[in-house]
Structure 1
């Protein structure tokens, strides 16, 4: 495995980081807890020491699963990355309304983007309890909250750092401008943002800002929710609880075009005895500014395949070939 520092925070992360969104089941059609724990353990055995989670993933279930998975592991050899600011359990509505959803039991919930100081302190204590630890390696605001000033949010997180409950501060889904505002109050280590071969809008502003200011970029959904694995077929059925059921990138015509692109790089993968997913992850990590790729797995077999992407080597010529083939892929229409 390879490891990189998150900004200048001193926190080292495995460049393949276990993303535990799917492990929480929410928006992914449920979960099997034993399989999820086994996936995290299998990844750890191959050097994937960093695990990204969030309270909203399964309404606390993902964090509980991560806590179970790291029991007995040396705490200083594991990096726990979690988040705050997506609230589903408020006594009364507060913050910026996010969306309506259902929990894993089918109950209706309203989710709010809410990052007021008192709420952050409460969320941190809840996360520490679910994770079974006394500190979080990287604490990230999940989405911007337009109802709370950024400096107020960051002052609260800075207090958690002073108390030893948080090692490093990160943001997620922040623009370059929002990062600059946050930096007036606290030193940021990273920004966690969506990035994949077919979703590259961060290259315009966020990537240049992070490179210039020495911030890590944690790329989430690098396999684009499975679209870039080559296993998704045009018109494939997804349950209503699966976010891919209505996702614009999963329209049949775009899936067809993506699969045609993947067919162009399939011989390269086969020549390296690698999967398409592994080649896609390696290309992603080779892009300027990308520090970490967050990759989910539902079971140990998938986790092992993700971790072994690090063993796949791509030459500059091969990277160029992939990029040129990608440039011919017509973007999806929303």
Structure 2
């Protein structure tokens, strides 16, 4: 796994990571099993995936607890694992977001305890609130960074204006936003600013909740508490167009002896604007397969062809 530098920090991570919302994220997905979640994490680490991306809201701390438990096992070296976590949701009232310095300071302490670690490699403000000046929120995280409790500072789900306010002192190292071949607004909204200010970019939902894996042919239905149940990508004409376009990737993937999922991940890994990609997984086999994307080296022509196929969704 190629190591990539996170912003202006001293953190280096694998360019392929693991999105851990299905590890302990019982409030996000139905039918999750904690032991299977821990096996997913173990498999990622054994395959050289060292960037693990979680958040308080993934199970309201449960994901962090499971990750912390696995990292206590003798097989794994904490110093070689890059833990990214996020906070903003108020415990007991997750609809309320809080970016105040006091809240963020306590959130870091609570996450350290759940993760059973002395430091967090990347800590994000998960969502903006409506009242806290963003430069004051980041200043609090900078103090925690100077104290050695976090190593890199990130924000997620911020507008460009909020990012600019947060980065007044140049302390922001990394931005995490939705981005995929189906959702590419970040290319015009954020990428120029990120390049100018040496801020790394990590997309979430890179596989568009499974739509970019090639597994869907007909419109699915999901349980009411499944986050995909209200996603317009899974409905009507848009869903049909997505499936049609994804199917056009099959012959390209075949040329690389790869799956569609591996091909899409390889596209992100070749994208110079993307620092790391963090696909989630609900099965051990998915993690193993995702890791193989690092062995795919797209030609410039194939990279551009995939880019062109999905331009219709811009």
> What band does the TM-score fall into relative to the shorter chain?
over 0.9
Partner deviation per Cα, 1:275-330 (whole Å, 9 max, x = no partner): 10111111123234111111111121111111111111110011111122223x45
Alignment pair present for 1:88 and 2:107: no
Match of 1:171 among 131, 155, 162: 155
Residue 231 of structure 1 and its aligned partner are, at CA, apart by 0.9
Cα distance in 1 between the residues matched to 2:290 and 2:225? 25
> How many corresponding residue pairs?
311
Q: Which residue matches 1:45?
A: 46
Match of 2:234 among 237, 244, 250: 250
Cα distance in 1 between the residues matched to 2:205 and 2:94? 24
Partner deviation per Cα, 1:218-266 (whole Å, 9 max, x = no partner): 1111000111111123321211110111111110322221111122110
Cα distance in 2 between the residues matched to 1:162 and 1:185? 14
Alignment pair present for 1:125 and 2:128: no
Alignment pair present for 1:211 and 2:195: yes
Structure 1 regions of 5+ residues with no counterpart?
Answer: 90-108
Structure 2 regions of 5+ residues with no counterpart?
Answer: none
Report the TM-score when normalising by structure 1: 0.89
- Is residue 183–residue 313 contact of structure 2 (8 Å, CA) maintained in 1? no
Report the TM-score when normalising by structure 2: 0.95
Cα distance in 1 between the residues matched to 2:310 and 2:139? 42
Deviant stretches of 4+, over 6 Å: none
Match of 2:208 among 217, 224, 236: 224
Residue 177 of structure 1 and its aligned partner are, at CA, apart by 2.6
Secondary structure, counterpart of 1:293 in structure 2: coil
Q: Which residue matches 2:5?
A: 5
Alignment pair present for 1:235 and 2:219: yes
Cα distance in 2 between the residues matched to 1:110 and 1:209? 30
Secondary structure, counterpart of 1:167 in structure 2: coil
Residue 188 of structure 1 and its aligned partner are, at CA, apart by 1.3
**Aligned runs of 1:148-163 on 2, under 5 Å?**
148-163=132-147
Q: Which residue matches 1:66?
A: 67
Cα distance in 1 between the residues matched to 2:142 and 2:169? 8
Match of 1:183 among 167, 191, 209: 167
Shift of the 321–151 alpha-carbon distance from structure 1 to 2, 3 Å rule, reads closer
Partner deviation per Cα, 1:77-109 (whole Å, 9 max, x = no partner): 0111011212232xxxxxxxxxxxxxxxxxxx5
More strand by share: 1
